[in-house]
Chain A
């Protein structure tokens, strides 16, 4: 789950990290009112789940309330990398002496937490990593041992920050690590972390991704889930508990298991088609799940054919077949369906489907043949 900047900052603030005063605004008038309460100058910042806001004109300095009105008008509705701006964060402007970068994430290869601290902040860390890798001071933290104060100190002292920033940064990074671990984050990132002319270290931006698997111990995360940006199809699928990713093509894909679903998307591409989606119905394809999946696919106006690719391991072929037929009775399907059914009790399943086959419901023996057929139908 990606958090907006303002949510990330509130998350950080709940762990005692210093953030600037600010307010959320959904309209130009709200932005102006917020600026009047905060007192100018302020920053007007687009809230989107993507990077590159600054370059896209989504972050503006406002010296006056009139500036706030102008900038808020420009930024609301702006398209930043395909994300439309619906929310603004109006924040007290800060004086900046220096900009740093700090983050924690899980390094899968090392199977430890990776902390990165760079004296060069405010730019994309990938750029720094490419052009000046020595500028990034890295630390690998054993999840069992945690980040001890001594280790944190030596890490920060080795990062070539302005000496005035060292104590403040140590304090913030200790809190950042606590927020990262206690909060079950996949990523916490501060870019920039700033040193003010008065010598204070301060959090100026927040990027936080939380682990959706940890929601059971963080009830408040449900509120973040509601603010995720999804297209209509994804919202529909999410509500039905399906693993769904919207794509741009015309072949609707349904498969059981994430790997097979990914592979099905690959194969549709390989035989010259364009998948409309990735959809994993998981294990046990009962009629309800199958009907839900078919509904989601059917509601996508781009879909011209549907490819159901099932490999029953523990899922039984006859249940899949009955599920598909029942789902077709419940949902009026606009596009022809091609089924490939293999694995456990596939013969029984095919025997059930056999008498029902028609232009609207076709069956192929292999994944490749079925993909070719579905692609051909989508092109008609």
Chain B
């Protein structure tokens, strides 16, 4: 099984007519994802390589029965695009766009909570989600992931998500679902949402979690692991040697006022019972040991 998406998930691409949206939308379709529609306010009636374009998400949902939307819209318009998706009736919204202002993120996160509590938001600034062999929404290269489980992956970092998938594939370990939650200050989907999903998914037997410096999401996840997780968790936290006060690429990755250090996060995860690797390779080896002992 998989979490959030499966082989039946029908996806709308908001921004399919743009260069990024087209490139990844078609790539995702080639992978096997059911890419059923794109949207553009003035290009309704046209198509992108056979994928019909509708004026907005509502019309696309009505015509195709889509349940998910993937957003490749420039940052200034993401706030409106997210609300259009929710109002249009999809249940799962994936925002790939980076550079969304933090206040916009906080606004639409809370607006969705209030008006559309059943809508699951992933991102912004995330690589998306892949359930190998079933569905790939976003920018992860499908071939680096092995199908079939037993490991679920959740990560705050795009490239380290790929690294994790790759380490596992090298060790001939498959993945149920790999969720890139993104490195922004207010991610829609959290570590805890994914951990809970994996805990409930019978096919997932162990979870790989990749965190990074900044905020307290890893500490919150550690608490959840200690209290609620029966499945083994292997973790890695990037940024052990990051200097305080400097933003390390991601808007969320910053050690401020002595808070948010990798050491504190790793210690919390260890204390919660997770196995923690000092680098992605070590985490991959730890996971291989865990899988071998299942």
- B242 to A257, Cβ gap below 8 A? no
Query: A262 and B279 in contact (CB under 8 A), knowing A211-B102, A313-B127?
Result: no
Q: Shortest distance in angstroms between A65's beta carbon and chain B's nearest beta carbon? A: 37
Q: Which residues from B are CB-within-8-Å of A267?
A: 279
Residues 155-179 (chain B) with a chain A CB within 8 angstroms: 155-163, 166
Instruction: Please count the residue pairs between chain A and chain B whose beta carbons lie under 8 angstroms apart in the complex.
Output: 170
Given contact pairs A266-B238, A283-B139, A343-B141, a sample of 19 additional A-B residue pairs in the complex whose CB atoms are under 8 Å apart: A108-B216, A143-B107, A186-B102, A211-B101, A211-B103, A213-B99, A214-B101, A245-B246, A258-B158, A258-B183, A259-B183, A259-B238, A260-B163, A266-B239, A278-B246, A312-B141, A314-B24, A343-B144, A367-B279
Residues of B near A181 (CB, < 8 A) are 103
A213 touches B75 (CB 8 A): yes
Cβ-defined contact, A262 with B249, below 8 A: yes
27 contacts between A and B (CB under 8 A): A106-B102, A106-B103, A106-B185, A109-B215, A112-B110, A181-B103, A211-B103, A211-B251, A213-B101, A214-B103, A216-B75, A217-B101, A245-B248, A259-B157, A259-B159, A259-B160, A259-B183, A259-B212, A262-B213, A262-B242, A266-B262, A280-B249, A311-B162, A313-B140, A314-B27, A342-B163, A367-B281
- Asked if residues B248 and A262 are in contact (CB atoms below 8 Å), the reply is yes
Instruction: Tell me if A348 counts as interface (CB < 8 A to partner B).
Output: no
A111 pairs with B238, CB closer than 8 A: no
Taking the nearest CB of chain A, how far is it from the CB of B100, in angstroms? 6
Cross-chain contact A106 with B281 (CB below 8 angstroms): no
**A261's contact among B106, B249, B251, by CB below 8 Å, is which?**
B249
Is the contact region of chain A dominated by helix, strand, or loop, or is it mixed?
mixed
Contact call B110/A266, Cβ cutoff below 8 A = no
What are the residues of chain B within 8 A of A142 when measuring CB–CB? Answer: 110, 114
Contact (A111, B109) CB under 8 Å given A257-B159, A259-B183, A259-B210: yes
Residues in A whose Cβ lies below 8 Å from that of B236: 263
Q: What residues on B are CB-neighbors of A132 within 8 Å?
A: none
Q: Chain A contacts of B248 at CB under 8 A?
A: 245, 258, 261-262, 278
Sort chain B's interface into a size bin: 35 or more
Instruction: Convert B98-118 into 0s and 1s, putting 1 for each residue whose CB lies closer than 8 angstroms to a CB of A.
Output: 011111001101110010000
In the complex, the answer to whether A184 meets B103 with C-beta atoms within 8 Å is yes
A-side contacts of B127, CB under 8 Å:
313
Contacts of A367 in B (CB 8 A): 163, 279-281
Q: How many whole Å from A183's CB to the nearest CB in chain B?
A: 9
Residues of chain B contacted by A245 (CB below 8 angstroms): 243, 246-248
**Shortest distance between the CB of A178 and any CB in chain B (Å):** 12
Interchain CB contact under 8 A, A259 and B158: yes
CA distance A197 to B262 in the complex (A): 47
Q: Give the residue name and chain of the A residue nearest to B183 (CB).
A: A258
Q: Are the C-beta atoms of A260 and B159 separated by less than 8 Å?
A: yes
1/0 per residue, CB under 8 A from A, across B239-264: the answer is: 11111001111111100010000100
Residues of B within 8 A of A87 (CB): none
Nearest chain B CB to A113 CB, angstrom units = 7
Q: Is the CB of A311 within 8 A of B166?
A: yes
CA–CA, A269 to B88, complex, Å? Answer: 49
Interface residues of A (CB under 8 A from B): 106, 108-109, 111-113, 126, 142-144, 181, 184, 186, 211, 213-214, 216-217, 243, 245, 247, 255-263, 265-267, 269-270, 275, 278, 280, 283, 311-314, 342-344, 366-368
**In the bound complex, what is the Cα–Cα distance between A344 and B166 (angstroms)?**
10
Bound CA span A83–B210, Å: 34
Say yes or no for B220: interface residue by CB 8 A criterion: yes
Give complex CA distance A189, B212 in Å: 27
Report the Cα distance A140→B260, complex, angstroms: 21
Chain A residues with CB under 8 A of B75: 213, 216
Complex contacts, A186 vs chain B, CB 8 Å: 102
Query: Which of B155, B217, B280 has the most C-beta atoms of chain A within 10 angstroms of its own C-beta?
Result: B280
B110 partner, pick from A109, A126, A143, A214, beta carbons under 8 A: A143
Q: Is the CB of A343 within 8 A of B279?
A: no
Docked Cα-Cα span, A128 to B149, in Å, equals 50
Chain A neighbourhood of B24, CB < 8 A: 314
Judge if B186 is at the interface, Cβ distance under 8 Å: yes
Cβ contacts under 8 Å, A314 to chain B: 24, 27, 139-141
Q: Does B76 make an interface contact (CB < 8 A)? A: yes
CB of A258 within 8 A of CB of B166, answer no
B8 at the interface (CB under 8 A from A): no
Flag if B279 contacts A266 (CB, 8 Å): yes
Q: How far is the CB of A208 from chain B (nearest CB, A)?
A: 14
| Residue in chain A with minimal CB distance to B140 | A313
Q: How far is the CB of B160 from chain A (nearest CB, A)?
A: 4
Q: Which residues of B contact A265 (CB under 8 A)?
A: 239, 241-242
Q: How far is the CA of A305 from the CA of B75 in the complex (A)?
A: 37
Residue pair A108, B252 in contact (C-beta under 8 Å): yes
B106 shortest CB reach to chain A, Å: 5
The 9 closest A-B pairs by CB, nearest first: A259-B157, A258-B249, A257-B159, A260-B159, A259-B160, A214-B101, A262-B238, A313-B162, A143-B107
